[in-house]
Structure 1
Amino acid sequence: MGIFQRLLQRSSIEHGSIVGHLLLPVGFLVGLGSVPVLALSVSVGADGIDARRLHGPPYNLTGKKIALGQVEGGRPALFGFDKLAPADNPVSVTQVLQLDGAAIADEYVDDHANHVASVIISREKRLMGVAPDATLFSAAIGPLSGEVSGQPQECATTQHIALRNSGDVRAINFSFGEPLLSDPRPNAVLDGNALLTQCVDWSSIAHDALYVIAGNQGGGGIPIPTDNFNGINVAYSTQIDGRFAKIDYANASSDPTFSPRGTSIPESNDGPRRSINLVAPGDDIQLLSANGGETFSSGSSFAAPHVAATVALLQEWGDRQLRAAQPGWSLDAREPMVMKAVLLNAADKIMDVGDGQTLGMARTLLDEANRTWLESDAHQDPQIPLHNELGTGHLNAFRAYEQFNGGQWDAGNVPVRGWDYSVLTTENAPTDDAAVEYADYVIDVPLNGDSYFSATLTWERKVSLADTNNNGLYDIGESFESAGLNNLNLYLMPVDEDDISASVGSSISQVDSTEHIFTQIPRSGRYKLRVVYNQNVAPDDAQDYAVAWWGVGSSSTTVSSNQP
């Protein structure tokens, strides 16, 4: 096996394991089982993420003029550049690259990369992608010349993608990863300090790009950079009665108990921090190969691009609102933490029966043991914001649009659904858990008793580049420095309360960069959402954050204007 084949083997995530692809023949994976329905059509439609509804009137959202990125071991085929690509190729990427330069014709064309790209931008009528009109830049990492770890090259390739479109790439998809055993650090663990993981968190800040990572922790997998703080890690779902509504058995949870060969340490995050943020369709997805053929495959490789492409739909809507100078819309709408908060908060957990009490959710999502989010420790323990298998729930593109369309609202009086991007500061790091500073979002509508309320708070771990040559770019051989993670907490409280111990719902993790509340309102009345800056760790005392909220309330109350 050659060096590049070893790279591809390290870089592809399917069926929760490592599968290498280099121009596989059409139908290679069809023989693995019975041929299912056209699952890409299902996964993009109402039984999947419900993105097709956004494609048509009155929304007409297809990702037009929104740039996305893709980084993998190989790359999709490009018509007019690669001989293999058909003239009517429905997977038409904008530019193909290799490492930090241009791609070479007919080199490192890979079916796995083409499959992933087809989920994002396919224009095949039967197998329409999530964002068929998005601009997609795809890069192959290429050969590694015998290095044990490819992380420096992978970081350089990632930066090359992030700088496309004049530095305006809204989301970057990673359907690849690195084995923990190949990390050069002594006694390496998934603590967020692998070079590629730090690169992802640094780039999310430096380039304002949301990283969407195929979740693959477990035994002998490729879990780096799933220990990132600033991106979204995605597990994959399978169909029940035609609807994507259950985590697939091949997924590893955030807390695997088994260990890979060669180490006694399970491939899970160091400490209690969980890795899965979101679930998206990934089982038996029909995909388009580099030569225009069709095949079926499964894995988190194909769940992640559903999420990345949904970002393009939301960003197209946000840009449309900005051009029209709509109130409640600012350039904050492009912030990756806003996208993360919106997507996670709009996820499906428990199917709404039609009365709106569970926020119009489209499905009940089940874990491997057929339990719901409400039966999890994440629902019971305020120190655990994420379900170990389900994260905050299943991607729903239409509900994400509704969440995003609530608009931005400054702290103060806010409507029952909306989001904000703001900053809290403190000059002195506290020595205990006493609140330093907080912002209150007062829901100006009485919330209905027994209805559910959802809120998500996200912020970034601060990572800086040790830029030895002062050129502002990552160069192979350079490193990153983590400034640590500041601690923010989230509380839902009666409007007249100031004691956080009286909150009706809270999320107070000490280790995560995400807080999430999904709680039932005990009695009808007025409530407020409080964001608390609890502890300053990083040298800079200012902490940006994004928060999104969604509740059920009376329509009789008029919301006071408090938009930026």
Structure 2
Amino acid sequence: MIRRRIRQLAWFIATVALVLFSVPVMALMDSVGENGIHAHQLHQPPLNLTGRKIAIGQIEIGRPAQFGLDKAGATNRSVRPNRLFFRDAPAEANSLVDSHAARVASILISRDKTLTGVAPEATLYASAVGAESRSEQPEECLAAQTVSLQNGGDVRAINYSFGESLMRDPRDNPVLDGNALLTQCVDWLARTNNVLQVIAGNQGRGGFPIPTDSFNGMIIANSMRVGGEFRKVDYFSLGSEPEVVIGRDPATESNVGPRRSVALLAPGSDIQTLTPNGTAAPADSGTSFATPHVVATVALLQEFGDRSIRQALESKQTPEVSHWGLDARRQEVMKAVLMNSADKLQDQGDGLNLGMTRTVLTQRNRTWLDSDAHQSTRLPLDAQMGTGHLNAFRAYEQFRPGQWRPDQETPAIGWDYRAVSAAPSANTSKYQDYVFADPLQGGSFIAATLTWNRLVELQDRNANGQYDIGETFRDRGLNNLDMYLMRAEDTDSRNRIWASDSQVDSVEHLFHQIPETGRYKIRVVYRDQINEPVQPYALAWWAMPNRG
């Protein structure tokens, strides 16, 4: 009898210990943890990054439910949006509550103990545009503007898990050239309101490509698990150049010309989410669920950035000394940081692959090294994976060293926000050189990403500074910037080792192997002026110093 009781007690203690040991793993959606974007490392001490006091947005046909406003949200205390709208007006109780929007919101901000979102303490503003039969691109633009103006105009990123069909676009013979009204609106809001626009890429059924032809936003493809880890482009992700689209011409789902759309890959297959009433929903797939992983990662990074800016101010350090200032809030910086820190090739423990955690595969099981983007300087992005797979912890590591000016010898990892000029002056130059302080290791890879904005202007008929129904936008085009990897002592860019010199993209990206141990630099060049003579840009870089 005593032995049996001892065995029962031992079994009970072991069971409790197993449950307690399992809590940290079960407290996160699979896509948020080690098999996904590695955000759990940011949630935990000592960083404790949860998106606290950072505002993000969501635009969809419907909206998530809210406790105290909607019957559907009466039992949902896990997903707590801050404020909800119908286009530019406050949301009405029990109106336009939508399961899809609720599930996307749960990836963004869920506080559920077993299905915790990426940024559970971020402040979410969401607007519903209404049923497709009653809303078109002007109403969608109005909703996007409404969200971007919340929190005193300080919303850091907006999630678009919906899109418009070219069949509903009012232009004659519409194509994906960046000039649909909603696409122009997205690019205008990115630049004027300084908010990163994150847009779901097309999926297998197609039909919703607008605004995936955005220049200033980020288009996200969805990944699926291989061996339990998210690292392969999902079969239902069309990418930039779909070969087959059910029921329509693949050309209608692709950008005009050689410009590719996909910026980044994120988990989007069999994702666990919550319904409007807070219960677990059946796992679902799509780029709709990949996009919020990126938006919420911005909230985590921006919380760290604001913390670093505050610490610098408290210690009375200038941005030049602390390397932290308001440039850390620039949407171009976030875009460059996220894209440059993406996983491509798993590191073997020697650091030569920059500590990357996984080898990412296309639908045909090809790696980045097989990509035409790796072989051609004119193609900065892979058609299916962009620059690779989102890794929130690596994005933090990319962001953490802070901002470094061209007149400083730069560390192996860092970023900058600056400008180049078509007409050099005392304050601006036609090119900027970033010289590494230490020699780089031969045989290692270097990653660098350059981002800047297309210039879209509002035709503001009533001069109120905001978009109103009936107004239009003017596309003033995209200035052409190039980026070169050079030896530190070289001055002529024709002697470059490698380059990213697309003539049509608003991003340049290179991932190249250092030929031999030595001193190197990255050069940013203003190549062709299309609109304004001074062009702001963001640059992020990641290299490996000489191990000797």
Give the structure-1-normalised TM-score.
0.88
Which deviations, in whole Å up to 9, do the C-alpha atoms of 1:299-355 show, x marking residues without a partner?
A: 000100000000000000000001011600010000000000000000000001111
Q: How does 1:256-271 map to 2 (within 5 A)?
A: 256-258=242-244, 261=247, 265-271=251-257
Q: How far is 1:554 from its partner?
A: 3.0
Q: How far is 1:89 from its partner?
A: 2.2
Which deviations, in whole Å up to 9, do the C-alpha atoms of 1:136-165 show, x marking residues without a partner?
A: 001111246646xx1000000000000010
Aligned to 2:51: 63
Q: How far is 1:39 from its partner?
A: 11
CA contact (8 A) 1:457 1:516 kept: yes
CA contact (8 A) 1:445 1:555 kept: no
Q: How does 1:67-466 map to 2 (within 5 A)?
A: 67-143=55-131, 146=134, 150-216=136-202, 220-258=206-244, 261=247, 265-295=251-281, 296-325=283-312, 327-412=322-407, 413-427=409-423, 437-466=430-459
Q: SS of 2:194's equivalent? A: coil
Query: What is the CA–CA distance in structure 2 between the aligned matches of 1:550 and 1:261, rounded to whole Å?
Result: 43
Query: What is the CA–CA distance in structure 2 between the aligned matches of 1:123 and 1:555, rounded to whole Å?
Result: 43
Aligned Cα RMSD in Å? 1.7
CA contact (8 A) 1:260 1:267 kept: no
Identity rate, percent: 55
Q: SS of 1:320's equivalent? A: helix
Query: What is the CA–CA distance in structure 1 between the aligned matches of 2:26 and 2:99, rounded to whole Å?
Result: 18
Q: How far is 1:503 from its partner?
A: 1.6
Change (3 A) 1:407 1:555: farther
CA contact (8 A) 2:198 2:294 kept: yes
Q: How far is 1:499 from its partner?
A: 2.3
Give the structure-2-normalised TM-score.
0.91
The number of residues matched between the two structures is 510
Which deviations, in whole Å up to 9, do the C-alpha atoms of 1:259-302 show, x marking residues without a partner?
A: 67576843100000001000000100011000122121100001
The one-letter amino acid of 1:346's match is S
Q: How far is 1:455 from its partner?
A: 0.2
CA contact (8 A) 1:40 1:286 kept: no
CA contact (8 A) 2:242 2:250 kept: no
Q: Which moved more, 1:67-76 or 1:37-46?
A: 37-46
Q: SS of 2:273's equivalent? A: strand
Change (3 A) 1:383 1:145: closer
CA contact (8 A) 1:284 1:298 kept: yes
Q: How far is 1:358 from its partner?
A: 0.6
Q: How far is 1:258 from its partner?
A: 4.0
Change (3 A) 1:253 1:38: farther
CA contact (8 A) 1:440 1:529 kept: yes
Q: How does 1:529-540 map to 2 (within 5 A)?
A: 529-538=522-531, 540=532
CA contact (8 A) 1:455 1:516 kept: yes
The one-letter amino acid of 1:542's match is V
Query: What is the CA–CA distance in structure 1 between the aligned matches of 2:493 and 2:309, rounded to whole Å?
Result: 36
Change (3 A) 1:251 1:421: same
CA contact (8 A) 1:256 1:266 kept: no
Which deviations, in whole Å up to 9, do the C-alpha atoms of 1:52-103 show, x marking residues without a partner?
A: 0000111110000000000000000000000111345211111111111000
Q: How far is 1:220 from its partner?
A: 4.0
CA contact (8 A) 1:40 1:285 kept: no
CA contact (8 A) 1:40 1:119 kept: no
Find 2:535's aligned residue among 536, 543, 557.
543
Change (3 A) 1:42 1:444: same
Change (3 A) 1:217 1:424: farther
CA contact (8 A) 2:233 2:265 kept: yes
CA contact (8 A) 1:217 1:267 kept: no
Q: How does 1:24-43 map to 2 (within 5 A)?
A: 41-43=29-31
- In terms of Rg, which structure is larger? 2
Aligned to 2:471: 478
Which of the pair is proportionally richer in helix? 2
Q: How far is 1:180 from its partner?
A: 1.1
Query: What is the CA–CA distance in structure 1 between the aligned matches of 2:26 and 2:163, rounded to whole Å?
Result: 28
Which deviations, in whole Å up to 9, do the C-alpha atoms of 1:202-256 show, x marking residues without a partner?
A: 0001111000000117764201000000011000001111110111111102112
Gaps of 5+ in 1: 1-36, 429-435, 557-564
Aligned to 2:485: 492
